Chains A and B, each alone.
Chain A
Amino acid sequence: MVWSFPQYERGGFSVNIFLIPYTWYRHLAMALWCAAWGLAAWAGVLTFFVKLSPGWHPALDGSILISTLSGTIAFASISGEAALRRRSVFASSWRLVLATGLSVGLAMLGYWFWTEVFNRLLYADQAALDAVDSSLVTLRYRVGAFALAGLASGIGPLVLRKGQGWLNHLSGGLASGLAGGATWHLLNYQGHGSDLFWAGAGLGLVWGFVYGLLVWGVPDELYAGWVRVLSWNRYSHRIPVDALDGSPNERFVGHFTRGLDLFLGADDGVAEMHVSVAVDDRQQYALRGLSLAPTKVRRFLERIELRYDARRPAPLQTTLKSGDRVELGEGEHQAELEFIMLPKEER
């Protein structure tokens, strides 16, 4: 019998869970994805400016740039999630439009509030004139606009995700907008000159990167733990640990021929019911030693003995991480297992 999770509907694009192994690097996946969209949004706005020569007032430049960035990055987050979850583009288009529109609208509102209301209340004399001078290149009078636009880019997707991860969305959005603004400012004044070309590119790139890093990362629920045989007998056989509905689950390994999840021969030093791998409702994995036979977990700079101790009321167990290896038996009679996290869609 071969275990597998059902295939998800194939409708996604671009972000591919198979290219995102379950390592610390997966936290960068959305950051890189959103950074690319941020950069593309900047290039799009600049191209629009340069090639189509818009006739609107210069006071709208900032509003249009940062609301476009805010909306595009929100779009990147939602579309990235849809792709990872294999949602159909058409089925999730309303989500994209809603999140993007919400972020764009809020970013525009925030820009207007900061430049036309807050700045006028906060500053006086020459500073007041500078604050409302839409032609002035400055971070001092625009920092709030960046922050509010970043916040808006977090709020759009947050509404779609029904408030899940609200702290990440709000604080990450805010931080990403501010990081983008700071990068824009620093690149503008690098050296002795003033160059908003590289600064604009940096704005889109950094805003998207920080947003993807902080707001919504690739969730663990897209992965499942698998137990895989490494020893010669039944090499590469594997079983998933997670239940289909995400509820707590436990899989058993042994040479008992009926009812166990993974059979390994007694000749390989495996007891009737040697170990089990459990997963709880928080997707934390644990290995339990159920046999008096030698059972050892090996990981980098660490060895854990899990042989059952008859004097203890409960079996020993240890947390399992992706890449851990489990040795069952010893000497000539030994089997080896591997615990690895793979995309749930993996068969």
Chain B
Amino acid sequence: MIRWLWVWLMIAGCAEGLTPIPNTTTRVGRPEVVDGTELELKIFTTLDECRARVQPDELELCMPYVDRANGEVRLGFQFRLDSDVFPLPLASEHIKIGHLGRELQGGGANTVSVVPHDPVRSPQLFILMIDGSSSMTKGGRMEKVRKALLMPEVVEAFFPDDVKTGVVVFQFTDRGPRPIGGRLRVFENPRDYRQVIRRELRVLSGYTHLYDAITYATGEFLARQDIQDLLTFHQMTPTVVALTDGFNNIRSDDTCGDNAGRLSTLLRHLEQVRAPESGIEPGRRPSVYTVGLGRPLRPAFELGREVSTSVRARDLCGGRKVGRQINGDLENRGIDNASLEWIARIGGGQSYVRQDYKGLGQAFKGAAAARYHWFEARYRVPPFYLRRSFRTTLRLISFATAEASVELFPSAWLDAPPGAKGDGGWTVQRPYRYILVLLMPAFGMLLLLSYLGAAAFHARRAMFMKVRQPRPPIRAGVPPANPPVDDPP
């Protein structure tokens, strides 16, 4: 009978294309990759795939995981170009996650996060755009920049031992970006770089043409034939790092609101050069990191997940500062952190605002950060949305195009032990032996209850019944008789 049962189970119930996820009761379908994208987004669904790509101690994080009790889903994925791994410096802003056909927005009951794993240095061309305007004289700002650029960890980040990188340094003012030292040089070793930074980095004069400088670095400069050859030969990815201490400022009477249109133009340019339609292969598209030196003018400013390239003056400056003059007013109050954040978002990088040279060093180091081999996409939704099978979609919205989705089937009847809250509020999968936390007390309680009846019965008899032989009664004039030893005949 059991044999027939197994045969029936195997024949009638084989799950086509569904893979059980070890240590869970969830199954996962075959990932579906959207055709026609520049990169292949590979979602890991089997242990073999994870073993081939991931460190052994991170296997658990690589496998899909659904924690229904906490409403959390985790997927491991990576990007590939022509079947080779394509590392990216991905953050949660660069990817969109869809659940049951709806795109998840961070905030409220939903939380979205991307966790990078397995950092790797990739060949890069760093294009440093340093503000050379006259305001950099104030408070020894240029000295701070110099010290930051010469910090050993920053130099190590720009010139790692294991891969080929290059560094080009520009300073920009109202006369456009100019190579440091007067002639264009691509530094390929730390010695030359240090020497030039020590000797040639100095304050120039004029206003801050920040947007033009970034436009140049990501457009005209990269289009130069010698730079193209360099990028192609060494398979380098261009990374622009722009530093400023104030606002984009072209004329003396510029107001904050005047920058809205200029910023829109820059953002459209960045979107264009980073778009698949640009004709530039994914590995040659520039990323833009921005570094601000000083205090942010709008500390509470935060971009939403959806960012448009059309910037309104009110959005850029806040309501009351739209008409305020930059020169002599706003630039003394702080730096335009909103612009910097906008540029970094569309440019596929990060934005940093720091006030001291150590902070600047960290920012430069962050801009030169490693790329990552694979990532975890984590999201949290109300558990209600996990009460049936669901499809999760991952879509890259920066660097290149890539999209894939996978269907997850949590069991409708059983769950493995729920996860424990870990660092950062995300759930960590508990080992299966956690089931003993339930079983041992439960079986112990049942055993105790089983004995409780007998124990109570005997305790009651011991307290209220004659469990010892009573003493013989003393009758008047009659000595107590010995109790009979044998039964009567």
Contact = CB atoms under 8 A, between A and B. Distances in A.
A195 B413 contact: no
B307 interface: no
Contacts of B115: none
Q: Interface range on chain A: under 10, 10 to 19, 20 to 34, or 35 or more?
A: 35 or more
Interface string A215-253: 000000000000000111111100000000000000000
Contacts of B476: 332
B71 A135 contact: no
B415 interface: yes
Interface stretch (A31-39, A85-93, A285-293): A31-39
B69 A194 contact: yes
Contacts, number: 189
A310 interface: no
A28 B18 CA distance: 44
A198 B483 CA distance: 62
A313 interface: no
Contact of B412 (A49, A56, A134): A134
Interface string A184-200: 00000000111111111
A306 B198 CA distance: 119
A59 B13 contact: yes
B388 A136 contact: yes
B13 A60 contact: yes
Contacts of B463: none
Interface in A45-104: 45-47, 49-51, 53-62, 64-65, 101, 104
Interface in B443-489: 443, 446, 449-454, 456-458, 465-466, 469-473, 475-476, 481, 483-484, 487-489
B413 A62 contact: yes
A195 B454 contact: no
B453 A21 contact: yes
Contacts of B383: 192-195
Interface of A: 1, 18-21, 23, 25-26, 28-29, 32-33, 35-36, 39, 43, 45-47, 49-51, 53-62, 64-65, 101, 104, 133-138, 192-201, 205, 230-236, 257-258, 263, 265, 267, 332-334, 336, 338
Query: Which 8 residue pairs are nearest across A and B when measured between Cβ atoms?
Result: A25-B453, A53-B20, A135-B389, A196-B415, A195-B69, A56-B13, A21-B457, A235-B469
Interface of B: 1, 5, 9-10, 12-16, 18, 20-25, 27, 68-71, 382-384, 386-389, 409-418, 432, 435, 438-439, 442-443, 446, 449-454, 456-458, 465-466, 469-473, 475-476, 481, 483-484, 487-489
Given A39-B439, A53-B20, 17 more contacts: A18-B454, A32-B446, A39-B442, A46-B414, A51-B22, A55-B20, A59-B13, A135-B410, A138-B387, A193-B69, A193-B383, A194-B384, A196-B414, A201-B438, A232-B471, A233-B481, A257-B488
